[in-house]
Amino acid sequence: MKLSKIFEEKPERWGFRGDPYFWDYLKERAENMDMISPDELEKWIKEEYFSLSGKVMTDEYMDFAVIEQFAHGGMSSGGVDNQWWVEEGIPLLKSRLTTL
């Protein structure tokens, strides 16, 4: 089973407009990856975020990065919300991974 399985069902709400594109980016990269531990998953997501944005992912309120490849129009276009990923996105994915 490939890691991309945990990305199949998208969340109903996001932080910023770039978050669904970052989700899809991670899902695509995970299609060739075998399952990993929840801690390795979190580390991998944060490394991918850093490689795209040059910023460390934190849980600070209103801390985000604008990633041009995820910019598709709108006020927060390309914005990836660190707080959403740390508080909701990563825990959701880790929970799905644990369930599998």
Question: Does 75 score more than 70 pLDDT?
Answer: no
Mean pLDDT confidence for 66-76: 75
Q: How far is it, in rounded angstroms, from Cα 98 to Cα 100?
A: 5
DSSP 20: H
Q: pLDDT class for 80, splitting at 50, 70, 90?
A: confident
pLDDT of residue 76: 66
Cα distances (Å, whole numbers) of residue 36 to 24, 39, 64, 99 = 18, 8, 26, 13
The arithmetic mean of pLDDT across residues 87-92, rounded, is 96
pLDDT digits (tens, 9 = 90+) for 28-70: 999 999 999 999 999 999 999 999 999 999 877 667 888 878 8
Domain borders along the chain are: 19-99
Q: How far apart are CA 26 and CA 87, in angstroms?
A: 17
Q: Which two tokens stand for residue 14?
A: 């996001």
pLDDT, the chain, mean? 90
